[in-house]
Chains A and B, each alone.
Chain A
């Protein structure tokens, strides 16, 4: 009896797992498929959109800069990598590396009659 109950439970368990795992994959593969199609559609839209604007505008010297979208949208990966590298070099400040240790050095002034206070002070004995 116990084995029968367990057998029923295991069958249900594997049924749930197998079906669920398969359905998760199938559903997400379906979404992948649709996203691929949508992606190609939007990429083709973007390719045709600049062609139309180029035909309509009057050609001027600054056509490329005026008709293009903002630099952030059209910058390719290589351009972004180059900018990132330049920023990295700038902030890393390539020059002689300093130790970054700042100390206050004591200036040792050896005794000298010119520095001696005794000779600099007025002598009070003379006043009396």
Chain B
């Protein structure tokens, strides 16, 4: 109820501002006419005064002119005077995203700061974010010195690839690679789920996006926000706003997008397959894995080192148990602070000029397709592997290769329980789920190598 009141108030304010904006020039003109008439009257009085010498020496500016100028300047400096329909529409979209985050709880941890960053950035005259400073994919330090706003300073964390890596430290500290280590073939399902990335890449290239832009759009299919932001800020920073919004919105829609595809591609018998209990994983294995994975992947794919390295650092801090304070700080304080800054600045890039165009709609559509194909890829590969393995795996866990941790694993559990209420797939699905995080980071590293 309160949210409806706030939304209604916002809409009412905007409707009130439109006539003010429209009439601001007329008001300014009326004020200036009054001012000139008053000035003319004062001059007549001064000319008819009994002391002509004093009237020539003491020519004092009439007070009404300065008040008039000040008032006009004030009116022209307000956001209302500089508003246009594009600005209004972006503010409306920001309010819609706030509604989705607060009321519908669509990934609120990121969607709320993104939406609010969009709201603040699109207020005319706020001077919080200047796209010119980051034009052409680089930082123009001269423009930075002259007049950078708050979000320009915060955006440096995105531009210099700091925030995604710090978030990955927190993600690693919250991830348990145990199910993946216990069942290594789930890594292959994580690789198959990257099909969505490459299908979206091809489709985007067909829609006349450049290869760099296509790669940035394709990575939405990896369902990994920090990786998408990391890659997009390097390859196609002009698309960062719509890509980030698409990625996080669709991650929240995983429970809506995936189940129909999973049911379409599997039979009820396949959905009811019960999997064997996984072997226990020792603490030593969980400590060795992040070290060797970091070294191996970084040697083979150096551009993926920041992401993979930070992910495995966070995981190592958690698994060793000797730096509990650091692990907790990574999971809580670090993640929360960086999430706020990242969300605000990513939302700030969604200005009217960058967002309100046909490309944004194409990105949104391609994002859905990327998710769909990623889900299908994982499920189909699991079915294919069942042809050759003795121990059948439930193909539903293949859809969890889309690395929306742990939402995608939960979706596999829920859909599996529709076929068999006593079938617990959650931990089996966590293997492909965390493998998908590695797979997406590897895919991003490869595209950086080839297109960066």
Smallest Cβ distance from B230 to chain A, in angstroms?
Answer: 16
Among candidates A23, A43, A73, residue contacting B446 with C-beta atoms closer than 8 Å? A23
Among candidates B181, B279, B451, residue contacting A16 with C-beta atoms closer than 8 Å? B451
Smallest Cβ distance from B448 to chain A, in angstroms?
Answer: 10
Whether A38 sits at the interface, judged by CB under 8 Å, is yes
* Chain B residues with CB under 8 A of A13: 201-202, 205, 211, 214
* Chain B residues with CB under 8 A of A24: 191, 194, 439, 442-443, 446
Given A28-B188, A32-B187, residue A39 in contact with residue B446 (CB < 8 A): no
- Mark contacts of A53-92 with chain B using CB atoms, 8 A cut-off: 1 yes-contact digit, 0 otherwise: 0000000000000000000010011001000000000000
Once the chains are docked, how many angstroms separate the CA of A27 from the CA of B198?
17
Whether B10 sits at the interface, judged by CB under 8 Å, is no
Q: Judging by beta carbons under 8 Å apart, are B446 and A19 in contact?
A: yes
Of A19, A35, A42, the most chain B CB neighbours within 10 A belong to: A35
Among candidates A9, A21, A42, residue contacting B284 with C-beta atoms closer than 8 Å? A42
Q: Judging by beta carbons under 8 Å apart, are A20 and B446 in contact?
A: yes
Q: Judging by beta carbons under 8 Å apart, are A20 and B184 in contact?
A: no
Among candidates B211, B296, B447, residue contacting A31 with C-beta atoms closer than 8 Å? B296
Q: Judging by beta carbons under 8 Å apart, are A31 and B187 in contact?
A: yes
Once the chains are docked, how many angstroms separate the CA of A67 from the CA of B326?
33
- Mark contacts of A16-50 with chain B using CB atoms, 8 A cut-off: 1 yes-contact digit, 0 otherwise: 11011101110111111011101100110010000
Once the chains are docked, how many angstroms separate the CA of A13 from the CA of B296?
27
Q: Judging by beta carbons under 8 Å apart, are B184 and A21 in contact?
A: no
Q: Judging by beta carbons under 8 Å apart, are A38 and B205 in contact?
A: no
Find the A residue at minimum CB distance from B185: A32
Task: Give B179-196 interface residues, CB cut-off 8 Å to A.
Answer: 181-182, 184-185, 187-188, 190-191, 194-195
The number of chain A residues touching the other chain, given as a range, is 20 to 34
Among candidates A25, A73, A77, residue contacting B191 with C-beta atoms closer than 8 Å? A25
Once the chains are docked, how many angstroms separate the CA of A32 from the CA of B450?
25
Whether B282 sits at the interface, judged by CB under 8 Å, is yes
Q: Judging by beta carbons under 8 Å apart, are A42 and B185 in contact?
A: no
Given A20-B443, A32-B185, A43-B279, residue A27 in contact with residue B211 (CB < 8 A): no
Q: Judging by beta carbons under 8 Å apart, are A10 and B450 in contact?
A: no
Question: Which of the candidate stretches B23-31, B159-167, B285-293 sits at the interface with the other chain?
Answer: B285-293
The 10 nearest A-B residue pairs measured at CB: A77-B277, A35-B184, A13-B205, A32-B184, A20-B446, A28-B191, A28-B187, A17-B198, A25-B191, A32-B187
Beyond known contacts A30-B296, A31-B438, A38-B285: 9 more, CB 8 A cutoff: A12-B211, A13-B214, A21-B194, A24-B191, A25-B188, A29-B188, A32-B185, A42-B284, A46-B282
